Chain A
Amino acid sequence: MSWLDRVRNSIPFIAKRETAENLWHKCGKCGSMVFVKEWEDNLNVCPRCDHHDRIGPRRRFAQLFDSGRYQLMAEPIVAEDPLRFRDTKRYTDRLKAARAATRERDAFQNARGCIGGREAVVGVQSFAFMGGSMGAAVGAAFVVGAREALQHRCPYVVVTAAGGARMQEGILSLMQMARTAVAVSQLKDAGLPFLVILSDPTTGGVTASYAMLGDVHLAEPGALIGFAGQRVIEQTIREKLPEGFQRAEYLLEHGMVDAVVHRKDLAGTLAQLIAYLSPREREAA
């Protein structure tokens, strides 16, 4: 993209030119060129090879809630850059760049709406925002979503996507694993279902906390899901990894997820699950 395109695209009120780039989407897996419209109508799944592309919170909400209608929840404000972290760049600069690129505040958003006619809170992790990494903002947003579900006595559905913990927040990012685990326990204690949809990729500290604590785990086809990174494993054991290692289908085979569900069936499957697991109205005693 040239600097001119970048500027043009960053200004919302200038209509985007219909360039080849805007009209066509090239599948990241099979390389097929697909009309963007066709690809989007197909829920960002390649109509040729079924490759499920990564999608952000807004698109996910639109796909999961009944008639694409939902109410976005405010994101909690947390202390920014608690460690004043700097690697080759300042963490605050990385945050700024991610915000400009995604127009999201951080890597996790919640919304409330109905799925199959029943109320639900849905949280979606955004891989586009610093690899979906979990820092205090993600942890806090997860807690806010869980709390909203508690208040409305409805299920909490979370779509995961993350490389892991946000290293720039050091130990505080690690602590988000415990923080989110507490929120999950509170849902369970209240008898509310916590449903997890694992999307590509979900690894590291996110997998080792709320992503694996669901009452039901669904995974999108082909999603990479694991604890350790593949390079780390190869370096440790010094052998090649098996075909399909850490993919959704592999996790199904090894008992870690309940089902691998095509994106077009996700909303329907969720509606089914919610119908079974939603807290019943207490009969008058």
Chain B
Amino acid sequence: MQTYLDFEKPVAQLAERVAELRETAAEGAVNIDAEIGRLEAKADRLLRDTYRQLNAWQKTQVARHPNRPHFKHYVDALATDFVPLAGDRNFGEDRAILGGLATLNGRRVMLIGHEKGDDTASRLRHNFGMAKPEGYRKAVRLMELASRFGLPLVTIVDTAGAFPGIQAEERGQAEAVARSIETCLSLRVPFVAVVTGEGGSGGALAIAAANRVLMLEHAVYSVITPEGCASILWRTADRAPDAADAMRMTATDLEGLGVIDRIVPEPLGGAHRDHAATVRAVGEAIGAELDALCTKSGRELRDERRAKFLRMGG
């Protein structure tokens, strides 16, 4: 069942009309194939036009879409082999960040990513993709493992942010995020990050300070959620659309600012409408980036990554 976003209402209405007509046609009364075809073409056109000019706030809705492909979809479709690794060896296992050894198109890598879950039970198990300190400490552990054994690192970034809670603070959420960023910048292996949904602040950057940062066409990446920004600067969360626009958080904006390196196009109507095509496109982009990075030495990779982030903001 397709979940329609607010701004997709006209498309939803057309789809509903098509479904009704199909039912009528199935009853065999009249031949209305031509009419159905016409309506479907119209719906496609409408969807294309809508998605061509999404504003930042609409993209935020798309990036958070419950049916958007998540970490496990990427693993299932891209990894011919996957050995999940768990735990921070210190406190616990945080399922908001998953990781493991993976074979992508014949290449052995370390794959780490946020997992939001896609039904109530799994969302709770993955804490909606909001990691606690142990999640970031696990990420650090796996990144260091990758660096030590010469495995390229690939991360899938999709989180509203690091979890804000009492226990998370007690266990040093800030320190865990900081250490994770520091680790990203010290690795001596190729490192590609893909922002596939929400790139939520420090919780995203903690696994995204990569040699090459890719972003899906309708993904967003920002220092704070539009709601958070609006409630601080406009003193009401209702101004989130304005905040989203002002913060320049879309893939095109970020490419222009030199913060990301490549935009991966999404299928018509967004990644949630075609998982297979989305995942394939992401897989191909990762492969191409790794091909280029794998020719460099560990030291070069680390130094280039550091130099890139040292320049950010002029």
| B-binding residues in A (CB < 8 A) | 78-79, 82-83, 85-88, 135-136, 139-140, 143, 165, 167-179, 181-186, 204-205, 207-213, 226-229, 232-233, 236-237, 239, 241-242, 245-246, 254-256
Q: B234, A233: Cβ atoms under 8 Å? A: no
Cβ–Cβ < 8 Å partners of B28 in chain A: none
**Given A175-B309, A183-B310: A170 and B249 within 8 A (CB)?**
yes
Stretch at the interface among B2-10, B99-107, B111-119, B222-230: B222-230
Contact, CB under 8 Å: A179 / B171? no
Residues of B within 8 A of A (CB): 162-166, 168-175, 177-179, 181-182, 184-186, 201-202, 205, 209, 221-224, 228-229, 232-234, 242-243, 246-249, 253-254, 257, 259, 306, 309-314
Q: Quick check: A210 and B313 within 8 Å, CB to CB?
A: no
Q: A136-B314, A178-B309 are in contact. List 19 more A-B contacts (CB 8 A).
A: A78-B313, A139-B313, A165-B201, A171-B223, A171-B253, A172-B313, A175-B312, A179-B310, A181-B181, A182-B185, A184-B182, A205-B223, A209-B177, A226-B174, A228-B165, A233-B169, A236-B164, A245-B166, A256-B172
Contact of B247 among A170, A175, A177, A245 (CB under 8 A): A170
Alpha-carbon distance between A238 and B259 when the two chains are bound, in angstroms: 35
A171–B209 CA distance with the chains assembled, in angstroms: 13
Query: 18 A-B Cβ contacts within 8 A?
Result: A85-B246, A140-B314, A168-B233, A171-B222, A171-B223, A171-B248, A174-B205, A177-B181, A178-B209, A182-B306, A182-B309, A185-B186, A212-B172, A212-B174, A213-B179, A227-B162, A227-B202, A232-B164
CA distance A186 to B303 in the complex (A): 11
**A213–B253 CA distance with the chains assembled, in angstroms:** 30
Report the minimal beta-carbon distance from B299 to chain A, rounded to whole angstroms: 12
Residues from chain A with Cβ under 8 Å of B174 in the complex: 207-208, 211-212, 226-227, 256
Q: How far is the CB of B16 from chain A (nearest CB, A)?
A: 37
Q: Say yes or no: A236-B178 contact (C-beta < 8 A), given A167-B232, A167-B233, A177-B202.
A: no
Q: Would you call A227 and B169 a contact (CB within 8 A)?
A: yes
Determine the distance from Cα of A186 to Cα of B173 in the docked complex, in whole angstroms. 23
Tell me what chain B mostly uses at the interface: helix, strand, loop, or mixed. helix
**A-B pairs with lowest CB-CB distance, top 7:** A136-B313, A228-B164, A207-B174, A175-B312, A87-B233, A227-B174, A212-B175
Note all chain B residues with C-beta closer than 8 A to A174. Answer: 201-202, 205, 222-223
Q: What are the residues of chain B within 8 A of A79 when measuring CB–CB?
A: 313-314
Complex contact B312–A179 (CB within 8 A):
yes
CB closest residue in chain A, given B306: A182
**In the complex, are the beta carbons of A255 and B172 less than 8 A apart?**
yes
Nearest CB of A to B37, in Å? 43
Chain B proximity of A158: nearest CB distance (Å): 13
Flag if B177 contacts A169 (CB, 8 Å): no
* Docked pose: A233 CA to B178 CA in angstroms: 19
Q: With a CB–CB cut-off of 8 A, which chain B residues contact A184? A: 182
A89 to chain B, nearest CB (A): 9
| Interfacial chain B residues near A179, Cβ < 8 Å | 309-313
In the complex, A228→B166 CA distance in Å?
A: 9
A174 to B228, CA, bound (A): 15
